[in-house]
């Protein structure tokens, strides 16, 4: 009787859209987009497909909603450091998305797809708004706000996505320090006439921290924005 009650409770829980999306994110993290099927979802939720279709019409809608769920959670994370300035808020947004893309292997591809295919959906406006409000607070003129916000958004998603892809290509069995050291040595052996710059920064490649480099890029863009559009008093 107790077992039947627990099963009934799980079925009731599966009828909520929030629980369906939570299970979808879990499946995506574990198996990727190919593993997210309605059959796998019904098995995980211990329910029938009709209960899921009541909340989500198809896999495309499910992927869109799962992506929005993860992005919304990333943007809602309280920053570890003080973010009492527009620059600090932008860094917090950037770091939240950086960590989310690193944590969820499928997210970068979904963000690229959604921003290209349906920029009117929930995800693009959510990210644009979180950055754009702070760009406006920097005092950027209205006619330049879209360009400045787009530059930040594309850098954040592109750099974070590339960083996450680098980690997955290496795989869990590869020591990052050894890989960077090998790369640094290979760069130093390049032809000095053809690759003078690459040889010069080889040691920096060995010692760099991905997150620190990412945030340094944000600071460079912000410095450029404020140099072109100095804050007004």
Report pTM.
0.84
CATH fold of the domain at 83-228 = Tetracycline Repressor; domain 2 (1.10.357)
Q: In the structure encoding, which two tokens stand for residue 62, read together?
A: 């499910």
Which residues of the chain are under the pLDDT cut of 50? 1-14
Q: What is the pLDDT of residues 40-87, one digit of tens each?
A: 999 998 888 888 888 988 999 999 999 999 999 999 977 665 568 999
Total length of the chain:
233
Distances (CA, A) of 203 to 84, 157, 183, 185, 197: 35, 27, 10, 8, 12
- Ordered by start, the domain boundaries in the chain are 83-228
């Amino acid at each position: 009787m107790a077992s039947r009650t627990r099963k009934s409770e799980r079925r009731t829980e599966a009828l909520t859209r929030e629980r369906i999306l939570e299970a979808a994110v879990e499946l995506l993290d574990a198996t990727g987009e190919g593993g997210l099927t309605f059959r796998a979802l019904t098995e995980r939720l211990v329910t029938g497909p009709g209960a899921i279709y009541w909340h989500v019409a198809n896999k495309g809608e499910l992927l869109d909603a799962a992506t929005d769920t993860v992005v919304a959670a990333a943007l809602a994370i309280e920053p570890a450091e003080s973010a009492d300035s527009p620059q600090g808020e932008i860094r917090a947004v950037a770091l939240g998305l950086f960590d989310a893309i690193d944590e969820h292997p499928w997210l970068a591809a979904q963000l690229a797809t959604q921003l290209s295919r349906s920029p009117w959906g929930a995800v693009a406006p959510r990210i644009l708004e979180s950055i754009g409000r702070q760009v406006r607070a920097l005092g950027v003129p209205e006619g330049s706000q879209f360009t400045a916000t787009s530059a930040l958004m594309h850098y954040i998603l592109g750099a974070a996505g590339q960083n996450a892809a680098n980690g997955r290509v290496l795989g869990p069995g590869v020591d990052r320090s050894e890989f960077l050291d090998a790369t640094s040595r290979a760069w130093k052996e390049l032809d000095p006439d053809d690759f003078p710059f690459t040889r010069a920064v080889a040691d920096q490649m060995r010692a760099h921290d991905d997150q620190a480099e990412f945030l340094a890029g944000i600071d460079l863009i912000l410095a450029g924005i404020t140099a072109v559009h100095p804050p007004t008093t």
